[in-house]
Amino acid sequence: MPVIAVVGNKGGTGKTTLSVNLAAGLARQASIAVVDADPQGSSLQWREIANVQDSISVFPGSKNLQAQAREFAGEFDYVVVDCPPSVLAPQTVSALEVGDLALIPVQPSPVDLWATVHIERAIVNARTINRSLRSLLVINQLEMRTTLSRVVREALTEISLPVAKTALRRRAVYRNSALEGKTVFEMGARGAAAAEELERLIQEVTT
């Protein structure tokens, strides 16, 4: 079943937050494995304090990430790979070469937009081996009142990669839920708007 590689080329884009919350949303309807291929181990740290033992399995990335992803793809409905913050990292290269979808969170900042150019090249290179690899840019931490946030979607049209219709807003509940070892789906009314965003994104990812 689908292997989703969550990819970034710099830290702080919200890669692990997206990985964990995407997995939590998918787990409401399917079986999920998260592979933490980032040496920082943020997904594994979240799993240590989270109360999701029965719904989300989080595993450290193995030395042979491609074999691990293929194995889990036979056991789970979805596999989410939380990659290191570099497209040059061997874990990221392996994830792209085995993945069905590269999900790329991009914040509305010039540095993030510049980093996306390198991700585009990495996707092109991976497709020489993995021709079925799809990709989707996800605008993350969007602030509607800022000029850059308003023009970021237009700026991304200069990249050949498709952009998700659903953007994730900048919300404190993403940080607060992580501190509590939860996802936005477990935050009740405080997380309702964020959960709705993620549900819309999941619809785009799975259709």
Question: Is a pLDDT exceeding 60 seen at residue 118?
Answer: yes
Taking all residues of the chain, what is their mean pLDDT, rounded to a whole number? 88
Edge-to-edge, what's the strand order for the sheet holding 32-36?
A: 56-60, 32-36, 78-82, 3-6, 101-106, 134-139
Task: Name the residue with tokens 């079986």.
Answer: 31
Kindly report the CA angle at 103 between 98 and 104, in degrees rounded to 5? Answer: 120
pTM: 0.91
The whole-number pLDDT of residue 3 equals: 97
Strand 56-60 and strand 32-36: pairing?
A: parallel
Query: Does the structural domain 3-206 have CATH classification 3.30.43.10?
Result: no
Q: Quote the pLDDT of residue 48.
A: 80
**Domain ranges, ordered by start, for the chain:** 3-206
DSSP strand pairing (134-139 vs 101-106): parallel
